[in-house]
Amino acid sequence: MTKAKIGIIGGSGLYKMDALKDVREVEVDTPFGAPSDALIVGTLDGISVAFLPRHGRDHTLLPSELPFRANIYAMKQLGVEYLISASAVGSLKEEAKPLDMVVPDQFIDRTKNRVSTFFGDGIVAHVGFADPVCHQLAGVLADAIASLNLADVTLHRTGTYLCMEGPAFSTKAESNLYRSWGATVIGMTNLPEAKLAREAEIAYATLALVTDYDCWHPDHDNVTVDLVIANLQRNASNAQKVIQETVRRLSENPPISDAHSALKNAILTPMNKVSGATKEKFGVLLQKYL
């Protein structure tokens, strides 16, 4: 099977990577169902990467419908060790303006309807999630953004991403509540991904692309899909430059990440008490602990 150490999940407005060469579509099936779309495996400056459009190439999946487990499992199956998520977000802080880039280091979970663990079925594990993003990967991503000196883009090296259920956007009361909690940006997708990536021992970091001020800002229009997509289209080529530079830096100097051993002290169930069927289902996730 084609392998790639670096994975990219593209969100709203980023359905393909123009700079990818030697492109192949890989239909991956997983014990957790089919991913959002075929994975696109190709090379960026000669470096093998796997790309997946989170909502499908034609944006056919709601945030609540996303097959998060299949997406992360498929990346793991391809050998991905570093996963970069590009996502559209609303800003909850004045200083994070549309077109800015934020590299969140924290999440708040306001989802209601998501399966965000691989475990169960006779095997129990509790991974650490105090630091939900891989610090090293986030650093490489932030340094890549800084090195490009992109016009009109301010980099925010840290921030809290609040993950809401959607699909409707927030009410003003909710938006102001999240501001009072100190959240920096709001989106609908990254938290389940980050949890599952941690369980899959994949280092994960988010490139959050600010598209709007949600609905709290008195001097800006309330968020609409048109606004999100218009701003993302303005920024899509920047996002791809950032990803390309991050990939280049990662392949030159792949960082050591705690995420790569996240399950080491997390599994409570003795392996000899786990059924063969469950072990088989977990496949690549448990391989190294059997």
Ligand X SMILES: Nc1ncnc2[nH]cnc12
Is residue 182 a contact partner of residue 162, using CB atoms and an 8 Å limit? no
Determine which residue in the list 67, 98, 159, 187 makes contact with ligand LNRAV4D5, applying CB under 6 A: 187
Question: Which window, 46-54, 151-159, 185-193, 276-284, contacts ligand X (CB under 6 A)?
Answer: 185-193
Q: How many helices (H) and strands (E) does the chain have?
A: 6, 11
Determine which residue in the list 73, 169, 178, 216 makes contact with ligand X, applying CB under 6 A: 169
Is residue 204 a contact partner of residue 103, using CB atoms and an 8 Å limit? no
Q: 51: part of which helix (H) or strand (E)?
A: strand 47-53
Give the single-character DSSP code of 104: -
Query: Which residues contact residue 79 at a Cβ distance below 8 angstroms, ignoring those fewer than 6 apart?
Result: 3, 4, 5
Residue 171: strand, helix, or coil: coil
Q: Where are the alpha helices (DSSP H) in 149-224?
A: 172-180, 190-199
Q: Kindly state the smallest distance separating residue 257's Cβ from ligand X, in Å.
A: 27
Token reading at 157: 């090296």
87 is in an annotated binding site: yes
Is residue 20 a contact partner of residue 7, using CB atoms and an 8 Å limit? no
Name the binder of 90 from ligand X, ligand LNRAV4D5, none, CB < 5-8 A by kind: ligand X
89 binds ligand X per the rule CB under 6 A: yes
235 binds ligand X per the rule CB under 6 A: no
Check if 100 is active-site. Answer: no
188 binds ligand X per the rule CB under 6 A: yes
239 binds ligand LNRAV4D5 per the rule CB under 6 A: no
For residue 167, say if its preceding peptide bond is cis, omega within 30 degrees of 0: yes
Question: Which window, 103-111, 181-189, 248-256, 265-273, contacts ligand LNRAV4D5 (CB under 6 A)?
Answer: 181-189
Determine which residue in the list 30, 48, 77, 87 makes contact with ligand LNRAV4D5, applying CB under 6 A: 87
Question: Which window, 39-47, 75-83, 101-109, 184-192, contacts ligand X (CB under 6 A)?
Answer: 184-192
Whose CA is closest to 154, among 106, 208, 105?
208
Range 145-164, binding ligand X (CB under 6 A)? 164
Going by the annotation, the residues of the binding site for substrate are: 188, 212-214
Q: What residues are labeled active site? A: 212, 214
Residues that bind ligand X (CB under 6 A): 88-90, 164, 169, 186-188, 211-212, 214, 223, 228
